[in-house]
Amino acid sequence: MTLTDAEILRYSRQIILPQVGGAGQERIRKGRVLVVGAGGLGSPALLYLAAAGVGTVGVCDHDVVDSTNLQRQVIHATPDLGRAKVDSAADAVRHLNPGVAVVRHPVRLTASNAPGILTGYDAVVDGTDTFASKFLVNDACVAADVPYVFSGILGFEGQLLTVVPGRGPCYRCFFREPPPPGSVPTCAQAGILGPVAGALGSLQALEVLKLLLGVGELLVGRLVLFDGLSLSFREVGLERDPRCPACGDPEHRRPLADEAAGGCTR
């Protein structure tokens, strides 16, 4: 279906970009993107993906909004306190852009439900807040052959990587196992500044839009390290490890499983 006049007007500031155009906007509209975790990273990612006109946005989160979330999780507001995050996020997305279909997954992502939840999505944003969840999102996306954008944040710092299965390394290629529970401080212990989450979550949305459009250079094989105190970005080149338990050669792969691990990167 071609774009309506209202859509052409609504998205005109991005359609005018030669890398987007009408055909690119149709690709964005056809896009189905799952955001796992409607928190500090998921909030800006969801809002920018919805604003850009991604046709279907999925939200996976089992939590409810509490007052300590509002300092950075900008998709939720004070009247949402106590509500399920998927409901609060879905309302915010519909309010921003009624043209976006929202699919709510009000559960914690697990090794057993991940394959079903991921089915049909073109890309995933990792907005989770524990190492166990991050490894699960990685392994589930690799197993399902779905590209995803990783981010982890703590304090003033953040990391970003795009994983396209078959085209580059995955998160587990270099962070082989989650750190032991308690060995890495959580956000509740170490703190997090809201705009750091905002910056990294926005960059995740940017990577997803580039993926849907097929333009630019994705962060495949390049881990970006963001330091908000010095306002600097560094980049570390990475290669796929053929012995990786998630994306390595078949004899090294392990079946999808949940892991017990502590820590928080949101």
161 part of the interface to Zn ion, by CB under 5 A: no
Q: Which of 65, 89, 149, 173 binds Zn ion (CB under 5 A)?
A: 173
35 part of the interface to Zn ion, by CB under 5 A: no
Q: Residue 3's Cα: distance from chain center in Å?
A: 27
φ, ψ of residue 223 in degrees (nearest 5): -90, 120
247 part of the interface to Zn ion, by CB under 5 A: yes
Q: Which of 137, 153, 197, 244 binds Zn ion (CB under 5 A)?
A: 244
Q: Which of 136, 143, 161, 170 binds Zn ion (CB under 5 A)?
A: 170
134 part of the interface to Zn ion, by CB under 5 A: no
Nearest approach, Cβ of residue 108 and Zn ion (Å): 23
What are the C-alpha distances in Å from 37 to residues 16, 45, 49, 120, 243? 32, 10, 14, 18, 29
36 part of the interface to Zn ion, by CB under 5 A: no
Closest C-alpha to 195, from 224, 226, 228: 228
| Options 5-13, 89-97, 102-110, 247-255: segment touching Zn ion (CB under 5 A) | 247-255
92 part of the interface to Zn ion, by CB under 5 A: no
Nearest approach, Cβ of residue 141 and Zn ion (Å): 11
Nearest approach, Cβ of residue 202 and Zn ion (Å): 26
φ, ψ of residue 149 in degrees (nearest 5): -115, 115
Q: Which of 246, 261, 263, 266 binds Zn ion (CB under 5 A)?
A: 246
Q: Which of 140, 172, 198, 207 binds Zn ion (CB under 5 A)?
A: 172
The span from the CA of 148 to the CA of 146, in Å, is 6
Of 66 and 249, the one with the shorter C-beta distance to Zn ion is: 249
Q: Rg of the Cα trace of the chain?
A: 18
Farthest CA pair distance, the chain: 55
Of 59 and 244, the one with the shorter C-beta distance to Zn ion is: 244
Binding site for Zn ion (CB under 5 A): 170, 172-173, 244, 246-247
